[in-house]
Amino acid sequence: MAGAGRAVADGVDCSYICDIAVHPRFQGRGLGKEIAMRLLNLSRGHRKIILYANPGTEKLYEKLGFRHMLTAMAIFSNEDAAIRKGLIAPSAPDDDDL
């Protein structure tokens, strides 16, 4: 398989696009953009379309109209690894910890 991606959607409110990946041998030929555009077109009509992007790939998706979301949160099974990869911010200390 050269590339893949998926959208999980409820048909009305939210479509969630994730796991867009192109095999290294086929990268840089427009395939990632084509997959993103097809998933985006399949998601049209939803009130919101949310995309999970790896750090460093934001420019690709900005060109398709995605904007940075200010309210996204996530729970990763390996929180320390997710922080190291820049996927989430470390939690702020509680007032009790100060």
State the residues that interact with ligand COA by CB under 6 A. 20-22, 27-33, 53-54, 56-57, 59-60, 63
Residue 32 and residue 3 in contact, taking contact as beta carbons nearer than 8 Å: yes
Nearer to ligand COA, 78 or 91 (CB): 78
Minimum gap (Å) between residue 59 Cβ and ligand COA: 4
Q: Which residue is nearest to ligand COA (CB)?
A: 32
Nearer to ligand COA, 36 or 98 (CB): 36
Minimum gap (Å) between residue 97 Cβ and ligand COA: 34
Nearer to ligand COA, 3 or 91 (CB): 3
Question: SS3 for the chain, per residue?
Answer: CCEEEEEEECCCCEEEEEEEEECHHHCCCCHHHHHHHHHHHHHCCCCEEEECCCCCCHHHHHCCCCCCCCCCCCCCCCHHHHHHCCCCCCCCCCHHHC
Minimum gap (Å) between residue 96 Cβ and ligand COA: 37
